[in-house]
Chains A and B, each alone.
Chain A
């Protein structure tokens, strides 16, 4: 027999279900508005550079866009227009490895995301220096992740570029051979860069090096650099506690070179020089450089390191 509960449920359903008649037409309208041209958005400059090189000179290639980001893309929070750009993209090329913390803050279609380090997850470097905290009854926790400047290891950069190549091939399969030819050229240039950097850092032998910021983990691992990272900003005067920390570090780690993300203040350079520490800039080039491109900046990095040895 029909009980009261079923009867009530039936009434509620009937009320909510009324007026569904126009659904088919609305679905058809929405489908008709889908964009047709392929659009690829990258989350940092190295990926934009790789994508641009892979698609260079190919008519049917997708449009490659790198949003205007002020500062480090890892600290980017997309604005309304940039979110619309990301949502309209056919593919959003991600660095992965935690380089896009903004992914946790924005709403994107997961099917359009390509993590270029997903297949090399076993080669990523976990971060260890996160601070745990506790508030409320849920217990202590920390916000830790992995090092994300993967492109500083040219071998990882090649793997990322290959993942990217597969994505553009999926978007324009007719030009697969051209994409793969361009990838092969890019790979040769990255291998050449790798060889050059290996030669330069080999000259260090096991001599200690300081990094101004913990962003060189992959460079350090790739070229077996005996390095330690500080948390110094090139455009800020180091604090007294920063200098004390350095003094405490030096006896155990007698570095003669400090590698910076950007040109440090002259006063900082002078004070380091007084401690027999030369400053050299190795630009991580996460964002679009003012001059040149990814490879030219990396070659300039190599040149500066070479001259500082």
Chain B
């Protein structure tokens, strides 16, 4: 019987083109539904885990999904904003620990996330190289940002203007990298973290400039009378915060009105969570959402999409099986003379049957192995592959 297997293998090797098409078709037929299912399940598990670690999110009333996504994954381009007073008022309730988030700006494609030190404890983020951010203008960067841009502690990264044509808007700020976070396999790896006040400086709500009361500021002073100095447009604002100029940085306006994109609330228990949710139930400007619930709704959609995709693939698979069957049947017809010769030289009918079965078996075996290998590779590199695809 090994002779029949050998002949079957040699037949496939001899007809490489036909065999390759068959293997490719069956591989894809096996791979696509399995990979889709695993990818969705892995992603859903990861998504749920991050959402479940985030008990409550306070933000502007509007799309719950966008609020949650921007807080968890920092993806929104123009997120709705709330005033910093909402953060202060939430804190005054003492129902939870509150962590401010201001995620609106980018630096080299990475989201700049303005927050407090509480965020790092909350997410369990550890500085792997360097130290924690300490001064305004300093940042700690995620592991992927550091690897992608080849940056480390002591180097700097510049924030991007919101639009190319926004010459009168947000000035780029050169931020010093204090440390690099250990990789955690989350969206935090792709972010640049700064003090929330640094994002306000990027937004132009705070800045540093020469002391106008100083004699050296003469050229920048438009008028000076009693207790009032007016500067002209030549007043240079610092684009980088250094130990030498940091004391010149200050904010204009009441910090209560400064923007945040959301606030993460971490209540100590269910009772406090419920009391806190009650506070915002009737608010017209604010909403307090449970990320897990919002993402459960999203996941229902994801799973529905997945089911549609798998149904489509199943139909395609049926068609593929039909075509493959046809190919094999036609092949048998074409090889009638070959099988007749084998019988004439002494091969049994069983021998011929094994020969045909071995050819089919080899095709399915190779396809199954390839599909398994592709599934493993896809699972391993799924994030990078899809991210590359999405950023094309």
Contact = CB atoms under 8 A, between A and B. Distances in A.
Contact of A13 (B228, B252, B298): B298
A80 B121 contact: no
A22 B383 contact: no
Interface string B112-154: 0000111001011110000111111010000000000000000
Given A109-B116, A138-B253, A18 B124 contact: no
B365 interface: no
B246 to A, nearest CB: 5
Interface residues of B, number: 70
A26 B184 contact: yes
Interface stretch (B268-276, B299-307, B338-346): B299-307
Interface string A1-32: 01000110111111111111111101111110
A77 interface: yes
28 contacts: A6-B301, A13-B43, A14-B39, A14-B44, A15-B387, A17-B73, A20-B50, A21-B46, A22-B184, A23-B185, A26-B182, A29-B124, A33-B126, A77-B247, A79-B243, A84-B132, A104-B197, A106-B134, A106-B136, A107-B117, A107-B136, A109-B118, A130-B227, A132-B229, A133-B229, A135-B209, A135-B212, A135-B232
Nearest to A87: B132
A185 interface: no
A214 interface: no
A135 B232 CA distance: 7
A105 B247 contact: yes
A267 interface: no
B134 A84 contact: yes
A101 interface: yes
A108 B134 CA distance: 7
Contacts, number: 183
Given A11-B386, A22-B184, A135 B230 contact: yes
B20 interface: no
Interface string A131-146: 1111110101111000
Contacts of B135: 77-78, 83, 105-107
A19 B385 CA distance: 13
B347 interface: no
B229 A12 contact: no
Max chain B Cβ within 10 angstroms of own Cβ: one of A26, A77, A84, A136: A26
B312 to A, nearest CB: 14
B332 interface: no
B49 interface: yes
A110 interface: yes
A20 B46 contact: yes
Nearest to A102: B247
Contacts of B243: 77, 79
A9 B69 contact: yes
Nearest to A130: B227
A16 B124 contact: no
B197 A18 contact: no
B286 interface: no
Contact of B121 (A2, A30, A134, A140): A30
Given A107-B133, A134-B230, A135-B230, A7 B75 contact: no
Contacts of B72: 16
Interface of B: 39-40, 42-47, 49-50, 53, 65, 69, 72-73, 75, 97, 116-118, 121, 123-126, 131-136, 138, 178, 182, 184-187, 195, 197, 209, 212-213, 220, 227-232, 235, 243, 246-247, 249-253, 295, 298, 301-302, 304-305, 382-383, 386-387, 390
Contacts of B212: 131, 133, 135
Given A20-B46, A133-B230, 18 more contacts: A9-B65, A10-B305, A12-B390, A13-B298, A15-B386, A16-B187, A17-B43, A17-B47, A17-B73, A21-B46, A24-B49, A30-B126, A84-B134, A104-B197, A107-B195, A132-B227, A135-B212, A141-B252
A164 B216 CA distance: 42
A78 B135 CA distance: 8
Listed from nearest, the 7 A-B pairs whose CB atoms lie closest are A27-B124, A83-B134, A20-B46, A135-B231, A17-B47, A14-B43, A19-B185
B276 to A, nearest CB: 18
Contact of B73 (A13, A132, A135): A13
Nearest to A129: B227
A171 B7 CA distance: 83
Interface in A84-132: 84, 86-87, 101, 104-111, 130-132
B185 A12 contact: no
B228 A133 contact: yes
Contacts of A131: 212-213, 227-229
B231 A18 contact: no
Contact of B185 (A6, A22, A132): A22
A20 B124 contact: no
Contacts of B304: 2
Highest count of chain A CB atoms <10 Å: which of B45, B97, B229? B229
Contacts of B50: 17, 20, 23
A178 B235 CA distance: 57
A10 B298 contact: yes
Contacts of A14: 39-40, 43-44, 47, 302, 386
Contact of B117 (A11, A24, A109): A109
A6 B299 CA distance: 11
A142 B390 CA distance: 48
Contacts of A83: 131, 134-135
